[in-house]
Structure 1
Amino acid sequence: MQEKYLPLFDVCYSFDKDDCQKYGLKEITNFYFVEERSENNVYDISYLATYDNRMEEAISIFNYFQENNIKAKAKIFTYPSHPIKELLPKNIEVIHKIIPFGESYQYYLDSKIILDIAHPHQKGLSFRPFEAMGMNKKLITTNKDIINYDFYDPNNIFVIENPFDFSIPETFFKTDYQEINNKIKEKYHIKNWVKKIFSDYEH
């Protein structure tokens, strides 16, 4: 957090509750851009990330998928000058080129379930839960705070309490996605996110 820049703005927002409390910011969630559906599921589970301190968790989770014959795919970006030293399961691919937004969106759209591994020092929800909502996809996440959101449904969202010791019920993979109430869903669309920003500023 670059605190020295905060006084330059009339209003400052964050999706992270802890940052809001610490720095006096206004809380706002992330959002989804478009609503879309796809039955062309290439993978059961997909995951995109940059190589960082979540790698051990990712390896453990994808080892679980591999051991349980779950068709999962991860693409981890890192620069060639920073090679990944960990031993990776076959379902994790290392890439050295950043995937454009359109391609990453399609990658998630072609998967039945989206995986979200939260940053260890981040309490707020990343874009993944909201993208999953917009795509009408199930979500597996390590962010325990998601149960406090109005769109949380255990039929659609599985929370991994411990990435190194967990089990996902087979029913989670076999049951259909449960539609979210339209009023709740619309609240997280980007158009309403923008409306909130401007309405707060006007007041």
Structure 2
Amino acid sequence: MAHKIRAISKRLPFASLHQFWIAEWQKRIDDFDTIVVFDNAATQKLLEFIKSRITKRTKLKIWLWNVPNERIEYLKENFDVYCFDQNYSKEYGLTFLEQFYILDSVNLDEKTDVLRDFYFVGADKGRIQQLDQLAGMIEESELTYQFDVFSDDKQSNRSGINYLDSKITYPEIIKKIQESKVIVEINKDGQVGLTLRALESLFFQKKLITNNVHIKNYDFYHPNNIMIWEHGNLKELEKLTNFLGEPYHQLPTTVTDRYSFRAWIKRING
């Protein structure tokens, strides 16, 4: 291959990651033209370790999947930093690069019965008030929902809001998404980048309710598939029912492929 790339995932604990580097990659480091380190794995110790062993030919890049990042000044002063969020990229002078999704581990051929209309999964992070209001709209419309919220503080008594004290596995989340008609996404204030929920809706052909108004700017946006929810607007109730009744608008594979990991690798290696 003319260009080889290696990505270090944030999902690995640093100790085992460092040992893996010593055991497997130290002897092969010259094989790679580009090395990408994901944010949660990007400890200063690991980055300096890699930096001390690569040649000038090898590019070391950092991918920010989570913002804000408390070490952003150190990262941008020493490395090429890429970020999924446009606002954060602009504020700190980073390179904006769209989010991606890896579909390889999911069996799309496996048929799953639809059990509910709406599904949310995520940490509280100040979302309960919005989730409670949306749940009320759903109940008033006589529709069904399940909101799995990671929180120790039970702030709503609605039957469809489940408070979890431990995380559930990603395959379990995917199963619940496949069992639902609509994925619910509530972004933090100021966040405009694509989240995992938005990409799941794209790849699993599920409808999406989101408070991210900037999603209209993406090529996969279609009003049949994506509803932008205005928290506190009582007129949203009728809009919610109509949205669920509209047929899903099929998108060409050229659009979906743009957000694949393969396409992302090509862009970050460009």
Q: For the aligned residues, what is the CA RMSD? A: 1.8
- Structure possessing the higher relative contact order (Cα contacts under 8 Å, 6 or more residues apart): 1
Match of 1:184 in 2: 255
How far did residue 9 of structure 1 move? 5.0
Structure 2 counterparts to residues 92-131 of structure 1, below 5 A: 92-131=161-200
Instruction: Give 2:144's aligned residue.
Output: 71
Q: 1:103 to 1:186 in 2, by over 3 A?
A: same
Per the alignment, do residues 194 and 163 of structure 1 end up closer, same or farther by CA in structure 2, a change over 3 Å counting? Answer: farther
- Structure 2 gap ranges (5+): 1-68
Distance 2:183 2:78 in 1: 35
Deviation at 1:112, TM superposition (A): 1.0
The one of 101, 110, 133 aligned to 1:60: 133
How much has 1:87 moved relative to structure 2?
2.8
Task: Measure, in 1, the Cα distance between the counterparts of 2:169 and 2:77.
Answer: 31
- Does the 8 A contact of 1:144 with 1:161 survive in 2? no
Q: What one-letter code is carried by the residue in structure 2 that aligns with 1:55?
A: I
What whole-Å deviation, never above 9, does each CA across 1:82-123 have from its counterpart, x for those lacking one?
x31423311101011101111111111111111111111312
From 72, 85, 99, the equivalent of 1:16 is: 85
Does the 8 Å contact 2:76/2:94 carry over to 1? no
In the aligned structure 2, how far is the partner of 1:163 from the partner of 1:130?
26
Retained in 2: the 8 A contact 1:115–1:141? Answer: yes
1:195 aligns with 2:261: no
What do the CA deviations read for 1:50-86 (whole angstroms, capped 9, x no partner)? Answer: 12112211111111111211111100012xxxx3142
TM-score norm. by structure 1 comes to 0.88
Instruction: Identify if the C-alpha distance between structure 1 residues 195 and 119 changes in structure 2 by more than 3 Å, giving closer, same or farther.
Output: same
What is the aligned counterpart of 2:119 among 21, 43, 46?
A: 46
Aligned-partner Cα distance in 2 for 1:169–1:59 = 15
TM-score w.r.t. the length of structure 2 is 0.67
Q: Residue deviations 1:119-152, cap 9 Å, x none? A: 1131212111111110011111111111111110
* 3-state DSSP of counterpart to 2:80: coil
Task: Report the equivalent of 1:157.
Answer: 226
CA distance in 2, matches of 1:153, 1:40: 25
Q: May I ask how many residue pairs the two structures share in their alignment?
A: 195
Shift of 1:172: 2.0
- Cα offset for 1:170? 2.8
Q: Distance in 2 between matches of 1:122 and 1:108?
A: 23
Q: Which amino acid aligns with 1:18?
A: N
Read off the aligned partner of 1:28 and give its amino acid letter. L
Unaligned runs of 5+ in 1: none
- Deviation, 1:196, is 1.4
With over 3 angstroms needed to count, the CA separation of the structure-2 counterparts of 1:102 and 1:77, relative to structure 1, is: same
Q: Percent identical across equivalent pairs?
A: 26
CA 95–164 in structure 1, closer or farther in 2 if over 3 Å, else same: farther
- For 1:57, give the aligned amino acid: Q
> Considering only CA atoms, is the larger Rg found in Structure 1 or Structure 2?
2
Q: Which runs of 4+ in 1 moved over 6 A?
A: none
Return the alpha-carbon distance in structure 2 between the equivalents of residues 9 and 192 of structure 1. Answer: 26
